[in-house]
Amino acid sequence: MSLSSPALLLSTLLLGGGGDKVELVEPVTRIWNEGRHNAFTDLIRFQDSWICVFREGAGHASGAGTIRVLASSDGKDWNSSALLAQTNVDLRDPHISRTDDGRLMIVAGAAVPPTRDPLTDHYSVVSFSKDAKEWSEPRRVVPEWHWLWRVTWHKGSAFGVAYSWTADKNKKKQYRGTLFSSKDGLDFKPVAAFDLPQTTEATVRFDGDTMLCLQRRDGSPNSAHLGISEAPYKKWKWIDLGKYFGGPNFIQAKDGTWWACGRIIEKGKAQTVLCRLDVKKGTLTPALTLPSGGDNSYAGLAWHGDQLWISYYSSHEGKSSIYLAKVRISK
């Protein structure tokens, strides 16, 4: 199934940081809107097909969320290949990666009960598949009340940041991030506790053996940071990027440049924005604003040829739906 929208026909062209030309290759398309609330995407190229995962639920943080897995051979026609669900559990924010042995791995958060009134349990789960159709039963990983948001595989190990939270005497949430690693995607061990305050969602990537972390922060202050660490990844240098960045994801181009996509709020309006991330200067420069608004962002990123494919969700057309953008970046 593929849905197009006349509202998405305008292609945006901007100059990204470093003078790069950033443009939509074709109109953005809406690829799924069958759930009541469709959100929190990720995207991967697997066995000559596209796999997109996201949450379906009653609302942004309500209802017994399920994880929908879509597949497409051409990026135009999409079909559901699986639905992951657990009774009386809100599964949410799925992220997908390829293990070193060639399987697909989904990591997601889980909340019990799904009404969250009151929230009695919160944990992380993983599930594996060889074909994107049959998935293992979601299994708990990392300690309770730790949310392992995304993992990246590097030299036989999965690395990811899990964040936990507690309430201070004024009932304000205090967040803390911890880097975990695992050899099999099931047994995760802590590597380093971050000393940066209010750390929540994070994505780690590798530049050679140097680990980079694009780190969202909530509360006050809430400016995103770039973390840099060398093996064994216990000591971190943090650079303030100067702006809030929700649902952070980033990816390296063939020329070595880094590109990040997430939610930026300008003048009270939230939009999904592709940015040039200069990891040496520590700057995050908006380059392309995707058609978006309201409840939106949480992008999946994957290169295919010379194009950057981006999955994301947005409610700018009324209903929170899943969209796909294809972007070309040139000098």
pLDDT tens-digit series, residues 85-109: 999 999 999 999 999 999 999 999 9
Instruction: Extract the residue ranges of the chain whose pLDDT is less than 50.
Output: 1-2, 4-13
Q: Which two tokens stand for residue 271?
A: 């939009």
Please count the other Cβ atoms lying within 10 Å of the Cβ belonging to residue 233.
18
Domain-located, residue 101: no
Domain-located, residue 7: yes
Please count the other Cβ atoms lying within 10 Å of the Cβ belonging to residue 47.
12
The CB-side HSE value for 75 (13 A sphere, CA atoms) comes to: 21
In 96-242, which ranges are continuous DSSP H helix?
none
pLDDT digits (tens, 9 = 90+) for 229-248: 999 999 999 999 999 999 99
CA distances, 317 to each of 33, 40, 150, 323 (Å):
11, 17, 28, 11
Q: Which two tokens stand for residue 259?
A: 């590109």
Residue 183: predicted pLDDT: 98
pTM, two decimals, is 0.94
**DSSP state, residue 235:** S
d(CA 261, CA 317): 20
DSSP per-residue string spanning 34-93: -SSEEEEEEEEEETTEEEEEEEEESBTTBS--EEEEEEESSSSS-EEEEEE--TT-EEEE
Domain-located, residue 172: no
Domain-located, residue 76: no
Domain-located, residue 292: yes
d(CA 104, CA 143): 23
Residue 20: predicted pLDDT: 87
Number of separate domains in the chain = 1
Domain-located, residue 65: no
Q: Which two tokens stand for residue 322?
A: 């899943």
Domain-located, residue 240: no
Residue 17: predicted pLDDT: 52
Q: What domain range is 304 assigned to?
A: 1-32+250-325
